[in-house]
Structure 1
Amino acid sequence: MPLPDTMYCAQQINIPPQLPDILKNFTKAAIRTQPKDLLLWSAAYFRALSEGECLPVKDRLEMNVATQKTDTGLTPGLLKILNKQLSPMKTCRKEEVEKKWKGLCLPMDQFEALLSLGGFSSDIDWMGFFALGCSALGGTLLSSLKFACEILTEDEEGGPARIPFNTFVKLYTYLAHVDGDMPQDHINNFLSSLQAQVNKQNGMIQVSNFYVSRK
């Protein structure tokens, strides 16, 4: 006597009605994100989907930034994904950050370098790690802050890339201290030079403000 679940024809296979849309969205996400390791990224994608988490998907297809020597490292689009996934926690377990990092197929030597630079151990202050990620993209302090503004802003792409000034202060101060060569009075003077422009913009700062002030 055959078992009750024996399949006799393809018509007996139950296909959820949502499957075509799931596969369509997955395909679009893969094209936009262009993961180096499709299988690794796919596992992260469907795990996030099943758990109702932020998906590891870029907003759009992007070109590599000029500071990259290869196409395997961190990009603004990938750092933006990490920020969406991890910033709500503010302080993250190293294992959680590492899991998200691996899900985006990013190189572990770069991850370890950022951990070492920030002196992070089991717990990671996300804003600090994010700032170091921007530094890896930008190379210089102001370029790093430019990336931070463009990633964090709620303005439309191509807009002024405004962020709250208190967020800018945290990022600038953190990176300046990591650099180690910038005196505190220099940090204070630079931030003070921006205050008048910030007051005119209701506590916000945009990329052009601090580039003009620096000059």
Structure 2
Amino acid sequence: MPLPDTMFCVQQINIPPELPDILKQFTKAAIRTQPHDVLQWSAAYFSALSKGDILPVKERLEMPVATQKTDTGLTPGLLKTLHKQLAPKETVTKEELCQKWKGLCLPKEQLDNILALGNFATSIDWMQFFALGCSALGGTIVSAMKQACEILTEDPEGGAARIPYDTFVSLYTYLAHLDGEIPQNAIEAFLAGLQEDVERQGGMVQPTNFFGPRRVEDIK
């Protein structure tokens, strides 16, 4: 292939003035998110940036658990990022979810397991998937609900981690029914037991209302 007749010098290359800031923000985002596949994540990052979509970026760096010997895939920070990306739609397609999941370099096997557990088809109720994501993080229902409060809360980090009671009820009842071993009267009794705290807290629930010795046996 012959060389082009026109040769370009450094002075002729037009560098957009916003490029340095774009690269700076990209670098900071990569450090916070720590993607396992930088190339794959970078493609998702710049694709979202070009479309004006929410970026696949964690709010802050998550330190690994000292006892964790293997990569567990989903983390609270990554689930929160997925929530920011997909919650506005309420119902998402399997294709959309797979795309966002892949953009965060999460293992496909874990996604397949959650989808199978929820018996989801092509259309997915995001909050139901979110609940199962919290369950994957916490293991038990009580731990899953604590994760949900900490991810969904609008309180500052380290605060009470309050969420609306209606949201709590929706997530908890979904997980309890899916569990299949918690009778309906036990579900109703547990939720009724929260009423006094909810009324005192202006219709909000926080982990201290249920995450403790007096509550664990009711909802585990």
**TM class by smaller structure:** over 0.9
In structure 1, what is the equivalent of residue 178 of structure 2? 178
* Conserved? CA contact 1:64–1:75, under 8 Å: no
Q: In 2, are the aligned partners of 1:87 and 1:126 still within 8 Å (CA)?
A: yes
The secondary structure found in structure 2 opposite 1:47 is: helix
> Using a 3 Å threshold, how does the CA distance of structure 1 residues 172 and 69 change in structure 2: closer, same or farther?
farther
After superposition, the Cα gap between the structure-2 partners of 1:59 and 1:92, relative to the gap in structure 1 and judged at 3 Å, is same
Match of 1:214 in 2: 215
SS in 2 for 1:211: coil
1:101 aligns with 2:101: yes
CA shift digits 1:50-72 (9 cap, x unpaired): 11111111111002357965225
Counterpart residue identity of residue 156, structure 2: E
What TM-score results when the alignment is normalised by the length of structure 1?
0.95
SS at match of 1:17: coil
Rounded Cα–Cα distance in structure 1 between residues aligned with 2:161 and 2:185: 27
Specify whether residues 191 and 153 from structure 1 end up closer, same or farther in structure 2 by C-alpha distance, changes over 3 A only: same
In the TM superposition, what are the counterparts of 1:162-177 in structure 2 within 5 Å? 162-177=162-177
Distance 2:182 2:65 in 1: 27
Q: Does 1:120 align with 2:120?
A: yes
Q: Which amino acid aligns with 1:37?
A: D
Report % sequence identity: 68
Instruction: In structure 1, give the amino acid aligned to 2:108.
Output: M
Is the CA contact (8 Å cut-off) linking 1:36 and 1:72 kept in structure 2?
A: no
After TM superposition, the structure 1 = structure 2 runs for residues 58-207 of structure 1, keeping only pairs within 5 Å, are 58-64=58-64, 70-207=70-207
Question: Using the alignment, how far apart are the partners of 1:49 and 1:180 within structure 2?
Answer: 42
CA distance in 2 between partners of 1:65 and 1:184 (Å): 36
Inter-partner Cα distance in structure 1 for 2:14 and 2:167 = 51
Shift of 1:178: 1.2
**Structure 1 residue runs without a partner (length 5+):** none
User: How many pairs does the alignment contain?
Assistant: 213
Aligned equivalents of 1:7 and 1:82: distance in 2? 46
Structure 2 CA distance for partners of 1:191 and 1:75, relative to 1, 3 Å: same
Contact 1:160 1:206 (8 Å CA) reproduced: yes
Retained in 1: the 8 A contact 2:146–2:211? Answer: no
Task: Give the TM-score taking structure 2 as reference length.
Answer: 0.93
AA of the residue aligned to 1:50 = S
Equivalent residue letter for 1:214: R
Give the direction of change, closer, same or farther, for the CA distance of 1:48–1:163 in structure 2 (3 Å limit).
Answer: same
Compute the displacement of 1:11 (Å).
Answer: 1.0
- Structure 1 residues 150 and 66: CA distance shift in structure 2, 3 A: farther
Q: 1:56·1:103 contact (CA, 8 Å) conserved in 2?
A: yes
Once the two structures are superposed, what CA deviation does each residue of 1:126-154 show, in whole Å capped at 9, x if it has no partner?
00000000000001111000000000000
Q: Which runs of 4+ in 1 moved over 4 A?
A: 65-69
Structure 2 letter corresponding to 1:126: W
Q: 1:159 to 1:26 in 2, by over 3 A?
A: same
Residue type at the aligned position of 1:210 = F
Aligned-partner residue type, residue 205 of structure 1: V
